[in-house]
Structure 1
Amino acid sequence: MVDPGGLATRLLEHEARGLLARLDQVRPFALHETMVLAAAVPYDAQLIIERFLHASRGRLREKVHGYLDWLHGQGRGVGAAEQQRRFVLIRLGFNDVLSQFDLFTEVITQRSEHETGVWLSGLDVLARDALRLGLDGYEQVPAVCYLSRGPGAAIRRARTRLPGGVPNPVAIIRVPRERMVGSGIASSLVHEVGHQGAAQLRLVESLRLDLARAAKDDPQGCWPTWDTWISEIVADCWSVGKLGIASTVGLLAVVSLPSFFVFRPSGSDPHPVPYLRVLVSATIGEALYPHPQWAAMRHTWKQLYPTHDLPAVRRTDLERLEASIPAFVRLLLAHRSPALHGQRLGDIWPGRERHPTRLIRLHREWAGDIAVMARQPSSLVFAVIGQAKAAGLISPEAESRLLSALLRAWAVRSSLDVVQRPPSNHVPSASRAS
């Protein structure tokens, strides 16, 4: 029914204009977030985020203006219900823009916290280094970090869908506050980075083809279970490849839970049973960087969580899967996907650079010299410190002090790199601003 008095039309016009006024109050982060320069989000990432949000606001503003033009023209001749239907869709788009803004606000706002902001900037440096691979055609996406309560980390991968259906322009990594600051934070962060890297290389999809072929000759029926868990195991493999035993020790800390949870069947959960997950991580480390420490780690983990009190059926099931771990890890590291250009998955990691004996040697050579360590790749530094801690060569207190100083140094260095960088016309973009 056409609105005879125009009341509905006036009401919706005012609502649309009010929406525009509120949209204009959503300002770029550069205008309302206070932080020291060393705490800033990486320059390229911030520029992409600002362009992305500006483009989203611009598209919404165009829709509102188009709606108002329609409302003053052809829309006058339609029923109030149609006018309302069109406005409600636009208002939903407004809420999507606010949701996108709030998502990045959570990342940006913490940069104003004393000390925390600088640490986060240092972790951005680690994330960037952990994502780096020497593969042709591999695009390194920007990544930003923020802290959250709880023991677990998480990632909102670049190119996944945000509210409104638009692709996320950067990887957003949530790291657990309770792990700041120690080498264990690297284990969580690089695991999440592994999800981003694996998605870009489509490793899960190609590995599942290998697992399906292996399942044809699997009388024990283990391979379907490894298929269920493969996405998390690939991320664990990325972490071990970059960090060595620091990854496994960090994982052990995350999954050290009451025994019920450590042994509980995971069902369709992509996270492996914690008891087996630590054993897989150690076996990956042993295959990549052979050393007696990995067998010692497995033995220690089994001492912490003995299986003799488990029900016989559950113990048998765990033993069956544990017996298949070596074969599974061989398949994992021997995998050759198209994105790896003929290389095995086990060949893309730093190799001898992360071997335990070399990491210990570097620890002794560096002798805690911040100036020397700050010039090294951050993932290597975390690997060295984690190895030294695992070998009992550094105390947890000294580790925390050292890493705090290094995160500050990396943050300052990255901010100065931006200041000193010559102007460039090329900046990665998520979408064009209106």
Structure 2
Amino acid sequence: MTQQDILKTVYGFEELRESQAVIIDAINTGRDVLALLPTGGGKSLCYQLPVLLSEGKALVITPLVSLMEDQVAELKRLRIKAACIHSYLDIREKYMIMNNLQEFQFIFCSPEWLATEKARQILPQLNFSHFIIDEAHCISEWGFDFRPHYLILHEILRDDRQVIALTATADEKIISDISHLLRRQLLVIDERSERSNIYLNVLRPEDKIQKIEEILDDSGPVIIYFSSKKVCDEVHNRLKTRFRGMTYHADMTYEERMSVQSAFHSDRIHYVCATSAFGMGINKKNIRTVIHYHVPKSTTQYVQEVGRAGRDGESAQAILLFDEDDISRSYRFLQEDHLSETDLDLYLKGAQLAEDKTEQLRILTSLFTESQLRIILQREFRTKVNALNHMAVYGQVDRCLSGQLYHLSVYCQHCQYCKGQQFMYFDKAVVDRKTDDRIEYIKSLFNQG
């Protein structure tokens, strides 16, 4: 079939978006590509269509189980053979998948699984035509931090296989890191654009929870982001006395997190109080409001998270509840949590460190000399401090908010400094159902017309 035949018969689309067409045309030349598209811009189709057109086989490296499962569910709905490998599979599922890997056209996994002995035995036998790195910004943002296996992805990339990296979140440093750490010359195609359907507000309320309660009355489906799991739970416990919602963070079990996604996607709850992991790969198009209780670590993180609102193209709003104390707290946490030269000194002396830091330093010292690594640790810390400084400016400086996020030189028409402070009013869209049918959730994920 031709590309147009596949687009119409498999996906049901008459034509690609202009940004998708530019990226897919480049991928079809066989070049290694880094594609930048806004959240909700249709990144998955950009790699799936070329793989189907070439009748190839793709290994898709992705950071979160929820993201893997959502994409596998979509491919299965399209009658494309796909599977994901992760630690939450039961023994029977894992056995079935591992014994039938040759049959799947798309196989999803994490960078950590790729470092296992089992993966290293299996991968050479599968003859992949494409290596896909979804949410590729994680290579730079997480690789030097708590997901060091992102730094060794180059070990599984073969020179005669095409690499396609995709993300909505990247600045010049991240773009440079992705290419350097993958050890590939990537053609960078930037099709990101300003999300003009999202109205931007910064508020400084004395009582943040009271302000959220006022907003929730007429806010449509809402995500409320926190940097603290404890505060996330505390705020939810107060909100749930009036509104129907749930929490989502790393202390919850896999089953609990899946239940939250199911309930939110099917509009059985009004809001989710969540840490930053929530939203990546959640294909919910009618989120109308994104609130940040705490100041995010960077403007790139903020752009990604507010971009989860209004994916249907309709009006939405992003509200940052700014507090200087949040900035001070973030600086303090950054000082305490970052991988430091002191950690490196202790590791080199054979001292006992926390297991995660030991693994980080094991990988880092295998890739870089001591002098190189000291420079990298200093650079990463400065980068995080500068990113937090930019968020502090965003919350305090009285100038176009969109211009600060998207580096525009002209005024926008959708922020409080260009148009005045405005709040949008949306229906809640909550369905009065108490069942939690995850099978129905998976089926409905991608059946939205």
Relative to the length of structure 1, the TM-score reads 0.25
Larger Rg: 1
**Larger helix proportion of the pair:** 1
Q: Which has the higher contact order (CA 8 A, sep 6+)?
A: 1
